[in-house]
Structure 1
Amino acid sequence: MNALFPPPVDTSTIKLRVLSLGAGVQSTTLALMAAHGEIGPMPDCAIFADTGWEPQAVYEHLAWLRSLNVLPFPVYIVSDGNIREGLVRGAQGERWASIPAFTRSASGTVGMIRRQCTRELKIAPIRRKVRELIGIAGKRSPNRPVVEQWIGISFDEIVRMKMSMEPWQVNRFPLIELGMTRRDCLRWLERNGYPAPPKSSCIGCPYHSDSLWRQMREEDPDAFADAVAIDRLIRTGFRNLRGEVFLHRSCLPLDEADLDTLADKGQLDLFADECDGMCGV
């Protein structure tokens, strides 16, 4: 497969190649393509940032990826706390890493809360582990790139591609280099005898589309019941928030929202502008 976009030209100073693993379709495909020698050079490791509130199927898929003879490089798991527990604390007036939940004021105005969860619970712990692995934890950062971080954004989500703001690290997007879409990833997995990975995103993520909420309700009722319980719990109590808080964009309780309308409301499109390439892949 010919690359549409070449990888960074000067890689002579790179000492560590890290794959950001969300354990979804794209990052799984990226990891397995590397294992098959179809993308190189081989990563030194992959890192999964655990928010503590992924569906059970994601944790089972991650365990498979970490099992013997699947990937030829280690997969590290890092965490900066449990997002579900943070929501509970936030609803009690404590400090929390805010999620992009929907709010409704007394006048009926609908808005979204500023999102901190991706940066605090995904990007920060990965960055800390990378600095540990490269040997610069607690030290001054190099002024040249020494780390190449692979991110599993596919060509159909190219708007999520962001360059690194750190001089010591460069971001690389191999699936975009190859012009591979999410559907191409699924086809590659099928051709090579791998099952389709589960959707990788937090159980109560407000970016869920109605179709994903429906799927959760029908296929993982325990997870859906948990999301409903948390949605009910977070209605009020957050510091500096006067309106009510909801997980669904309708600003209705999740178990009362209309999830069955055939025309999906496009909620998943919010990922394109907001999720920094760290969630859902």
Structure 2
Amino acid sequence: MNALFPAPDIPTIRLRVLSLGAGVQSTTLALMAAHGEVGPLPDCAIFSDTCWEPRAVYEHLAWLRSPNVLPFPVHVVSDGDIREGLIRGARGERWASIPAFTKSKSGKVGMIRRQCTKELKIAPIRRKVRELAGIAGKRSPKHPIVEQWIAISFDEVIRMKPSFEAWQVNRFPLIEKGMTRRHCLRWLEKHGYPTPPKSACIGCPFHSDGAWRRMRDEDPEAWADAVAIDGLIRSGFRGLCGEVFLHRSCVPLDEADLDTLEDRGQLDLFANECEGMCGV
């Protein structure tokens, strides 16, 4: 265990919940708990569905929820379809904004404020946690009664954030153990488990060029969907004068240069407000 990040020891905790993104890190954490390598055993895991994950993620989630894989239940919650929300937003309706890129008539490039993680990931999980803890619709306790496990790995330690709720404490078991994403992959391989797919919305603007390229080359269904949505969201959003794009180059997605030898890498913006709920 990493002495810099010890596990919390809070006697008032009565519910332990694992936030499950169904990616590499959260899958590893869930299976490590099942093997008794992290404890105490969580009471459940919660997957928050934006309804726009790749097919492989849903197939992997179904495997995790199948009998004899995890010794605790996996609850699936949702606060709406982010894809349909984008389409509504382009019609001038209210939407949970994603960090898409904008380009003004003068050529200035900007980025839209990110609301999707808070509204479509964090909020539904928090609501379910309150229900499971027996405090839905009630005054919140002033001391921690819930321990929420977040599967951020040691190489993403910058994404660690404390809970802003007095009744809940965040715990980061992979960081406690000093485990990076690579360590997680090795652990899964050692135990004969499948490699989880990348957990992220199909049209997430945080995709690296490599991720877009893999989608184009290996998942044509998802690629065609992303290209179609990218074309639909060019204008129409309330309060936005410029054009909207999924790719940072501010050109249509199917025209973006994804084949450069130097992959520009994923934007280092997850730490802004994601609280570890996306991409793990």
1:49-64 counterparts in 2 under 5 A?
49-64=48-63
For the pair 1:181 / 2:180, whether they are aligned, the reply is: yes
**2:240, 2:69 → 1: CA distance?**
46
For 1:139, the equivalent position in structure 2 comes to 138
Aligned-residue Cα RMSD (Å) equals 0.8
**2:109, 2:274 → 1: CA distance?**
20
What's the CA shift string for 1:215-253, capped at 9, x where partnerless?
000110010000000000000000000000000000000
For 2:163, the equivalent position in structure 1 comes to 164
3-state SS in 2 of match to 1:269: coil
User: Quick one: which amino acid aligns to residue 84 of structure 2?
Assistant: E
For 2:222, the equivalent position in structure 1 comes to 223
What's the CA shift string for 1:125-170, capped at 9, x where partnerless?
0000000001100000000000000000000000000000000000
**Which segments of structure 1 move beyond 6 Å, counting only runs of 4 or more?**
none
User: Quick one: which amino acid aligns to residue 7 of structure 2?
Assistant: P
For 2:8, the equivalent position in structure 1 comes to 8
User: Quick one: which amino acid aligns to residue 258 of structure 1?
Assistant: D
User: Quick one: which amino acid aligns to residue 178 of structure 1?
Assistant: K
3-state SS in 2 of match to 1:37: coil
1:92-171 counterparts in 2 under 5 A?
92-171=91-170
What's the CA shift string for 1:4-38, capped at 9, x where partnerless?
321113x1000000000000000000000000000
3-state SS in 1 of match to 2:102: strand
Contact 1:29/1:189 (<8 A) preserved: yes
3-state SS in 2 of match to 1:218: helix
Identity %: 80
**1:87, 1:141 → 2: CA distance?**
33
**1:125, 1:66 → 2: CA distance?**
19
For the pair 1:65 / 2:67, whether they are aligned, the reply is: no
Which TM-score applies when normalising by structure 2?
Answer: 0.98
**2:34, 2:78 → 1: CA distance?**
25
User: Quick one: which amino acid aligns to residue 66 of structure 2?
Assistant: S
For the pair 1:21 / 2:20, whether they are aligned, the reply is: yes
For 2:240, the equivalent position in structure 1 comes to 241
For 1:85, the equivalent position in structure 2 comes to 84
User: Quick one: which amino acid aligns to residue 48 of structure 1?
Assistant: F
Displacement of 1:79 after TM fit? 0.2
For the pair 1:42 / 2:41, whether they are aligned, the reply is: yes
Unaligned runs of 5+ in 2: none
Displacement of 1:268 after TM fit? 4.0
Deviation larger for 39-48 or 262-271: 262-271
Displacement of 1:265 after TM fit? 1.0
Contact 2:51/2:82 (<8 A) preserved: yes
**1:271, 1:208 → 2: CA distance?**
11
Displacement of 1:274 after TM fit? 4.6
Contact 1:91/1:234 (<8 A) preserved: yes
Displacement of 1:262 after TM fit? 1.2
